[in-house]
Each structure stands twice: as structure tokens, then as C-alpha cells.
Amino acid sequence: MKPLLQAGHRGCAGCCDAIAAKFTLMAAGEDCIVVSPTGCLEVMTTPYPESSWNVPFIHSLFENNAAVASGVEAALKAKGEFGKTKIIAMGGDGATLDIGMRSISGAFERGHDFTYVCIDNEAYMNTGVQRSGATPFAASTTTSPAGKVSFGNIRPKKNMPAIMVAHGSPYVTTTSIGYPKDMIRKVKKAVDVEGPTYVHAHSPCTTGWGFDTSKTIEIAKLAVETCLWPLYEMEDGELTKAKKIKNPKPVEDYLKMQRRFKHLFTMEGGDEMIKKIQALADANIEKFGLQ
């Protein structure tokens, strides 16, 4: 079978977007239409006159991805072509949690039959690692830099999956590009469930987070193994499954491998911040029953 996302795109070595898109297409198959907002994924895969997509692909703007997807769905329905073809909106955390929030909220409330895949690399990477609503607590970005009187981003991540559950979505799940089988299974399930479904894929960015290009998958796994990124499924508002982590690793194992958290190990008081991050992981263990 030909790859649905062709090699030769312009992503960085170790790029999380390419991995996330590849897994998504492996799950959805060739009978799908991909809708994608402005961001790394669109830029690196569609430099005119080239395209890496072997499925129909449309990019419109930054903040309207879910609205464009709902228009595609409506068109197929109106023309009697809706059924087998899967509609997948795939965008970054900024396009999803921040600037595209109104659009995704409207599309889910209207109940369009499509799947939204959020590729969450926790900042605006395409523009140079600026803070987004998905940037984790104490991460240093170019607009929330660590400095003499700052430990970086002062707010925790926006809980986007909970917001999508609140919209009445029949299937909301978190996944990670560090777990291909998990992600492919969940995307497949999401596209098969009728109605608007949401897959939130944790996706480490080598450039933005500051780690070696060979470590993308390792970092992704560590986020899950430390319980900072729990993998769970919500069906019709109920938690139906969560991946157990028998012996959670300390969050330091995850933090120390990334430039964005380096200041926590060098600044006075950094250890207190690490304790707060550990508390976030512990809360996840409790909330989702990870042990």
C-alpha cells in the first residue's frame, strides 16, 4: 500500500507532526478527507507545487479548522456522498485550544460526523515556540521565558478533552505518538463512532522542547510513564478505560531531558516547582486510577 503521507516532506528530523499524521492516516485509510489549519503540518507538507498527501487535503486558515470540516461533512451529506468517507480535522494545540476554540465548539455542538485530532506539542512551534493554552506549568517558551524572576509559564494546561466531553461528544480520548498501537486503535475507533469525536495526541517537538531528534518517542513515553500525560478514553461522558502505569517514574526523568525545563534544575527554588509538577502527576494517578 502506498503511504498516505508521502516521504520527502519538509518536517524536521524526529518531527512529531509527521508521526501523528502518519498514524492517523494508517487508522483512517485512504477513503478520507483531511482538513488542517495553518501550522507546521500544513507548511511542511504542501509547499506549492508539491504535496505529501495521497488523500484529499484542505487547508484554509488558522482558527477555522472545525468549521471547514463541518462544511465538508455538510457538502457530502447534501450531495448524497456521505457514508464511508471519513472526515478528519487535524491541527495543533494553538489552532485547537486557543484560536480555533470557537470553531471546534460550534462544530461539536452541531454534532457533525467527523473526527478532530489535536496534535499537542504544547506551544506555537511553527512561529518559534511561543506559549499556548496547552503549554505545561513551568515550561520555558519564547513568550513565557524563564528569567531571573520567572520559572516560565505560570499556568497549567487547559483541559481540552474535558471541554470536548462537556460538548456531549460520544468519544473523547487522549493518546500519545509514543504508543503507535494505542493511537491507531483510538483514531480508528473515533472515525467509526458516529458524531463528533476527539483524539488528543501528546506529541513531543524536538525543536521546541529542546531534545535530540532521536528521542521523540522516548520523551513521549516518559510523559506517559511519569503520569504527566494519562492515556484514557471517555465514552458518552464516562471514563471507560485508562492505561495503567504500575511503577510511575519520577517527573524529573521526563523534565531533565528537555531544554524547556532546564531552568528548574539550575535556578534557586526550582526543586519546589518540580514538586508542584510531581503533584500534577500524582493528581492524574488519583483522578484516572492509573495504578
Partner 1 sequence: MKRNFEDDKEKMVVVEGSYAVADAVKVCRPNVISAYPITPQTHIVEDLSQFIADGEIPNCEYLNVESEFSAISALVGSSAAGARSYSATTSQGLELMHEVLFNVAGMRLPVVMTVVNRAVSAPINIWNDQQDSISQRDTGWIQLHAEDTQEAADMTAQAFKIAEDPDVMLPVLACMDGFILSHVYEPVILLDEDLVAEYLPPFEPKFKLDPKNPKTFGAFADPHSYTEFRYLQQQAMNKALKTIEDAADEFYDLFGRHYGGLIDTYQTEDADIILMAMGSIVGTIKDVVDKLRAQGVKVGLLKVRSFRPFPAEAIKNAIKGAKVVVALDKNISLGLNEGALFTETKGSLYNTNVNIPIIGFMIGHGGRDIPMSTMEAIVDEAKKVIDSGITVESQFTDLKEELL
Using CB under 8 A, list all residues that contact partner 1.
30-33, 35, 42-43, 46-49, 51, 53-61, 63-64, 67-80, 85, 102-103, 105-107, 109-110
Q: Tell whether omega for the bond before 49 is within 30 degrees of 0, i.e. cis.
A: yes
Which string of b and e fits 128-138 if b means at least 16 CB within 10 Å? Answer: ebbbbbbbbbb
Distance CA 132, CA 234 (A): 24
CB of 146 to partner 1, least distance (A): 33
Taking the least distance from each CB to partner 1, the nearer of 105 and 159 is 105
Taking the least distance from each CB to partner 1, the nearer of 35 and 264 is 35
Taking the least distance from each CB to partner 1, the nearer of 195 and 210 is 195
Taking the least distance from each CB to partner 1, the nearer of 114 and 209 is 114
CB of 247 to partner 1, least distance (A): 45
CA dihedral for 153, 220, 224, 171, sign (positive or negative): positive
Secondary structure (3-state) at 99: coil
Q: Which three cell numbers stand for residue 98?
A: 486557543
Q: Which helix (H) or strand (E) holds 197?
A: strand 197-202
Taking the least distance from each CB to partner 1, the nearer of 109 and 272 is 109
What distances in angstroms separate CA 209 from CA 13, 72, 131, 261, 263, one per listed residue?
14, 34, 12, 8, 13
Report which DSSP code applies to 248: P
Angle between the N-to-C axes of helices 216-225 and 16-28, in degrees from 0 to 180, rounded to the nearest 10: 80
CB 180 within 8 A of CB 231: no
CB of 63 to partner 1, least distance (A): 7
Taking the least distance from each CB to partner 1, the nearer of 103 and 174 is 103
CB of 99 to partner 1, least distance (A): 11
CB of 153 to partner 1, least distance (A): 28
CB of 53 to partner 1, least distance (A): 5
Distance CA 47, CA 7 (A): 14
Distance CA 230, CA 224 (A): 6
Q: Which three cell numbers stand for residue 275?
A: 514538586
CB of 16 to partner 1, least distance (A): 19
What is the residue whose three cell numbers read 506549568?
Answer: 137
Taking the least distance from each CB to partner 1, the nearer of 30 and 272 is 30
Taking the least distance from each CB to partner 1, the nearer of 91 and 178 is 91
Distance CA 212, CA 47 (A): 26
CB 124 within 8 A of CB 142: no
CB of 30 to partner 1, least distance (A): 6
